[in-house]
Chain A
Amino acid sequence: DTEVTQTPKHLVMGMTNKKSLKCEQHMGHRAMYWYKQKAKKPPELMFVYSYEKLSINESVPSRFSPECPNSSLLNLHLHALQPEDSALYLCATKGPSTDTQYFGPGTRLTVL
């Protein structure tokens, strides 16, 4: 069982909607990540947070807005998405003494 949880599991939204994806971990990890995975493709890094500060933004469009309100939570705010943004959005965390990342179950997003 994963110690990284993500909600919701599934999300369908229109192009004018505003929604948020949530990720929570209680492993005490201080590095948290958002990845995007399209069908039949590998995960691609979007954002990295280290000690609640954004350290990497992989040139992600501004319609995706990450937020790390505390060391256990990571949000991804969505606004004015496009149908091509439909994908599985994965959250991951990493402890300080390893490079191993642990993934949550993901949110499957469909943009209509």
Chain B
Amino acid sequence: RKEVEQDPGPFNVPEGATVAFNCTYSNSASQSFFWYRQDCRKEPKLLMSVYSSGNEDGRFTAQLNRASQYISLLIRDSKLSDSATYLCVVNGRSGGGADGLTFGKGTHLIIQP
């Protein structure tokens, strides 16, 4: 089973729409969860951490369900500048003991005018 799974997309959505991404992770011992954004040929940049209680940052809302090992990201009122690859990221790897990040393959989002 893959450690962090995401739908690779691409998701093509019109500007102003709401879009949701989902992610599952296999290591139940994982403690920290993130969404990173990566633009073409750039480094990953932290979008937001994800907490069990759910958290919101402007147009972005992240949710974590530890029981289901499921993470989500909701983007409301999408902008053209939201076009990027969204990486679901989990701290630690299967087998435990490491503090490197494990990345999903990313979901490619294209916002269309």
Binding site for B on A (CB under 8 A): 2, 31, 33, 35, 41-45, 48, 56, 58, 88, 90, 92, 94, 99-106, 108
Can you spell out 29 A-B residue pairs with CB atoms less than 8 angstroms apart?
A2-B43, A31-B99, A35-B101, A41-B105, A42-B87, A42-B106, A43-B101, A45-B93, A45-B98, A45-B100, A45-B101, A45-B102, A48-B100, A56-B100, A58-B100, A99-B31, A99-B34, A99-B91, A99-B99, A100-B34, A101-B46, A102-B46, A103-B43, A103-B44, A103-B45, A105-B42, A105-B43, A106-B42, A106-B43
Kindly supply a per-residue 1/0 record for chain B positions 62-103, scoring 1 wherever the CB is within 8 Å of any chain A CB and 0 otherwise. 000000000000000000000000010001010000111111
List 18 additional contacts besides A44-B103, A48-B99; criterion CB under 8 Å. Answer: A31-B99, A42-B87, A43-B101, A43-B103, A45-B93, A45-B101, A45-B102, A48-B100, A56-B98, A56-B99, A58-B100, A94-B99, A99-B32, A100-B49, A102-B46, A103-B43, A103-B44, A106-B43
- Residues in B whose Cβ lies below 8 Å from that of A88: 41
